[in-house]
Amino acid sequence: MCGIVGYTGPQSAITPIVEGLRRLEYRGYDSAGIALGTNNSLFVEKRAGKLANLEAALPANLPTVHSGIGHTRWATHGGPTDSNAHPHLDNEGKLAVIHNGIIENYSELRKELEARGHAFSSETDTESVAHLLSDLHKEHGGDLTAAMRAAVKRLRGSFTLLAIHADAPQTIVGVRRNSPLVAGIGKGENFLASDVAAFIDYTKRAVELGQDEVVTISPEAITICDLEGRAVALREYEITWDAAAAQKGGFTHFMLKEIFDQPKAIADTLIGRLSDNNQILLDELHMSDDEMRQIKRISVIACGTAYHAGMVAKYAIEKWAKIPVDVEIASEYRYRDPIIDKYCLVIAISQSGETMDLLMAVRHAKAAGARVLAVCNTNSSTIPRESDAVLYTHAGPEIAVASTKAFLTQIVAIYLIGLKLAQVRKQLTEKEVRDLYSQMLELPGKVEQILETIEPLRELTRKFVKNDTILFLGRGIEYPVALEGALKLKELAYIHAEGFAGGELKHGPIALIEEGTAVIAILPPADEHGLDEKMLSNIQEVKARGARVVVIAPEGAEVIGAEHIIRIPVTSSLFQPVLATVPLQVFAYEIAVARGTDVDQPRNLAKSVTVE
């Protein structure tokens, strides 16, 4: 969640640090601060609120400084105040620390440090690390790397830490445990950050950092060691997207740009996945055909929007591959003692690859003997690294906190996994696989078609701006879409919204319907199950009780009882979620804009949730 940036090199450090923090604003934050390594001392400034508050507090005559660290904080221990903002200092004001995550044993550390004479000035868990490092820095003869190694051995929790000391300000030391940190290699300058977006303007060369690895950067070098001081070889990789991809591209908000990015994102995720002889190509699974045939059960684990993608996955995989699929909220998974063995495939879905709830669930599944496959959008993030295999989506950077294109590409990636399993297990013929893949290749064009005709929907949306509650109805595979539509509205517009399975209306939720209640219903395509007829009956039920009903319906489908109809292109029932989701994204976006909320950075939310 928190944004972390470190820089050391020939240029004025304030520029890459503040620019880096600005690029990390999408993660969500409520305060910001910097520590710069001036001669034999540190210059520190920090402010609650947006980054602009910090910039306004910086003196006009700030001296040129060539190294420093910067931070945007999302409050956990202690409220969003100036004193709780990072960096935190030791009592001498010579050592500064910034931190992402949770120090679980901070309370006992604080008592120990206060007993040794340390005075605390904040409510945070982070400040205990600053004082601990200060003592250890002295014990290790001024070696900040050695002090960090010793400090980490004392800490419990999940964290990324960066530290700088006035005695050697050109050196910055960092460490990660269950929380993101990456190094950037420049020319005569080096970087540390919680996300490559922070330094992408300066270098495309990045270095992957592993669990409990301590990294030390100076203008000349990057070195990594483990907690025993043993050198670790640098694992360098190239960043494949550029700064322009993280810009709004002429759109008012990142979210709107990312909604319009979806046709390309889906196409990029699908490209090259079918061979000339009609075989689904997913070498990333690292599973032999025999191993795939031995799978007896699949557990999909995810959080938030990714959980809804997992619910869609259940319908597709069970339909095609005939394997039973459970879908579970990752934060609950390991606390119920799930039944796991080597014949269970666990699919972990995450946009960021750093979601702490999911990471802990992945480790639990692996320890129990399951094979774990990650579906992720962020290269070299923690969850893919700790999984047995990873299928990357190709959505490109998603900056807005509320997920859009990552969600649709997760669904598409899961479709590919389902087709691969079905093909290997002889549940689908080559012709059936080819036909289904061909239908998937039509999805980008159909999403484009929706977006080209979106203006009437934007106008319609404004009629619901003053509603305090909006309900969403779906049946079958459209039920997860209803849940996602409700979640988007909650996230962006702060409106009470709930998604229901249409058949559950009469079991309680219909009591919520009164004159003027807004209901958005998703009409399934006509198929052998007749769910479209069931949904039409649900529409009549709420209409008879005074609801204002908006129906998302395939072109040509007959709809009775709707106040408004939003048409989407015709596709098969299993693929319709990709299309039906798009109008709901636009609906939530437009209501949020009309209500004046912060669309890209909704209150209380963060892009990457790195604490449990």
Query: Hey, which residues are catalytic here?
Result: 2, 607
Cα separation values, 45 from 33, 57, 75, 606, Å: 6, 7, 18, 23
Q: Residue 602 and residue 592: Cα distance in Å, rounded?
A: 10
The H-or-E segment that residue 54 falls in is helix 51-57
What are 69's strand-pairing partners?
Answer: 6, 35
Beta-carbon neighbour count of residue 488 at 10 Å?
Answer: 27
DSSP SS3 for 506: helix
Closest by CA to 608, choosing from 423, 355, 415, is 355
User: Among candidates 52, 64, 87, which has minimal Cα distance to 161?
Assistant: 87
Q: Give strand pairing partners of 579.
A: none
Tokens of 321: 């591959």
Amino acid at 240: T
Q: Which residue has the tokens 């200092």?
A: 89
Q: Round to whole Å and give the CA distance between 560 and 219.
A: 69
| Residue ranges of E strands in 455-607 | 469-474, 496-501, 518-522, 548-554, 564-568
Strand, helix or coil for residue 530: coil
User: Which of 281, 291, 287, 245 has the alpha carbon at shortest distance from 23?
Assistant: 245
- Asked whether the beta carbons of 43 and 67 are under 8 A apart, the reply is no
The SS3 assignment for 399 reads coil
Cα 97 from chain centroid (whole Å): 25
- How far apart, in whole angstroms, are the C-alpha atoms of residue 134 and residue 116? 12
d(CA 83, CA 591): 36
Residue that has been written with the tokens 């990636």 in this structure:
413
Using CB atoms within 10 A of its CB, is residue 369 exposed (0-12), middle (13-18) or buried (19+)? exposed
Integer Cα distance of 506 and 294 in angstroms: 41
Pairing of strands 548-554, 518-522: parallel
| Distance from C-alpha of 328 to C-alpha of 311, rounded to nearest angstrom | 9
Closest CA to 47 of 76, 73, 8: 73
At 592, which amino acid appears?
Answer: A
Q: Is the dihedral of CA 513, 518, 522, 526 positive or negative?
A: positive
Residue 446: which of 331, 568, 348, 549 has the closest Cα? Answer: 568
